[in-house]
């Protein structure tokens, strides 16, 4: 079983990088991936309701393959963001909500913009996901995730990219933060191989999840990368956790 914990789809055709859900399924099939955790491909500083609805449509068309995850943008207003979170979790039945301070340009621990939304998500018992990369390190620095982890110790936090996206490398800071806060879990997408392996050896195999960052990376190549990385380094049981079991447990999804 393989669950890809980081894939994006989009209903819009204006971005050549964007892919529809049928193309995602084709890429999953080619890579031998059983299911994917899927969120929208950000339309950046614009309304996102249609894109979240498209992810929901994908879960209805492919219920055995696509695990929907919501997206909220506080720049669209607190009321709008709160309504979108409620729609994603209550109406769509998504497994959680993602906040991306890099692509939507805000500090992920901002007390007015972000923390009220995180509190709303935490109250549902579902996880939150953060883009955490060096592409916008001020907005998404790992120490900001640490602040959230301290404020909401029962909230399960998915740290997507573990600080490894961009021209700089914040993976050491991400790992240090994760050692201090056991409610933080890594999705090792868009990051080099050595930090992924170091995270597994340091935190344990139960804290790291496979992800491809499709369509920004090629799904089948990322799967091959993980097989090459893990074989001979972890047990078969640990590999099963990394490739599927951990994200299924965090999402409370039975496989």
- Both tokens of residue 151? 């404020």
Condensed to tens digits (0 to 9), the pLDDT of residues 128-157 reads 999 998 777 888 899 999 999 999 999 999
Torsion of CA 153, 158, 162, 164, to 10 degrees: -140
> What's the pLDDT score for residue 168?
78
CA 62 to centroid of chain Cα atoms: 19
- Residue 173 tokens, joined: 């800071």
Separation between Cα atoms, residue 184 and residue 72, nearest integer Å? 20
pLDDT value for 41: 86
- 105 CA to centre of own chain: 17
CA 193/CA 240 separation, integer angstroms: 18
Which residues, other chains included, contact 244 with Cβ-Cβ below 8 Å and sequence gap of 6+?
1, 2, 3, 34, 35, 210, 255
Give 10-residue mean pLDDT values along the chain (255 residues): 97 78 97 98 76 97 98 93 97 97 86 97 98 84 96 98 85 97 97 97 98 97 98 98 98 93
pLDDT digits (tens, 9 = 90+) for 4-29: 999 999 987 667 788 999 999 999 99
**pTM of this structure:** 0.95
């Amino acid at each position: 079983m393989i669950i890809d914990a980081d894939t994006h789809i989009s209903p819009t055709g204006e971005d050549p990088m964007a892919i529809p859900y049928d193309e995602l399924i084709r890429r999953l099939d080619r890579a031998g991936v059983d299911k994917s955790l899927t969120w929208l491909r950000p339309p950046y500083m614009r309304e996102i309701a249609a894109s979240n609805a498209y992810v929901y449509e994908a879960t209805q068309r492919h219920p055995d393959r696509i695990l929907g995850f919501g997206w909220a943008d506080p720049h669209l207003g607190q009321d709008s963001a709160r309504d979108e979170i409620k729609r994603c979790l209550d109406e769509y039945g998504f497994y959680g909500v993602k906040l991306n301070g890099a692509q939507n340009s805000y500090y992920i621990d901002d007390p007015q913009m972000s923390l009220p939304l995180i509190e709303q998500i935490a109250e549902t018992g579902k996880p939150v996901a953060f883009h955490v990369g060096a592409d916008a390190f001020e907005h998404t620095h790992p120490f900001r995730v640490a602040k959230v982890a301290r404020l909401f110790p029962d909230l399960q936090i998915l740290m997507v990219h573990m600080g490894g996206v961009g021209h700089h490398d914040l993976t050491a800071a991400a790992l240090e933060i994760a050692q201090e806060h056991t409610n933080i879990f890594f999705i090792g997408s868009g990051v080099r191989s050595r930090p992924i392996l170091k995270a597994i050896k340091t935190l344990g195999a139960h804290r790291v999840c496979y992800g491809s960052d499709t369509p920004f990376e090629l799904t089948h190549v990322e799967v091959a990368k993980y097989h090459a990385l893990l074989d001979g380094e972890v047990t078969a049981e640990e590999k099963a956790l990394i490739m599927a079991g951990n994200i299924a447990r965090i999402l409370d999804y039975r496989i």
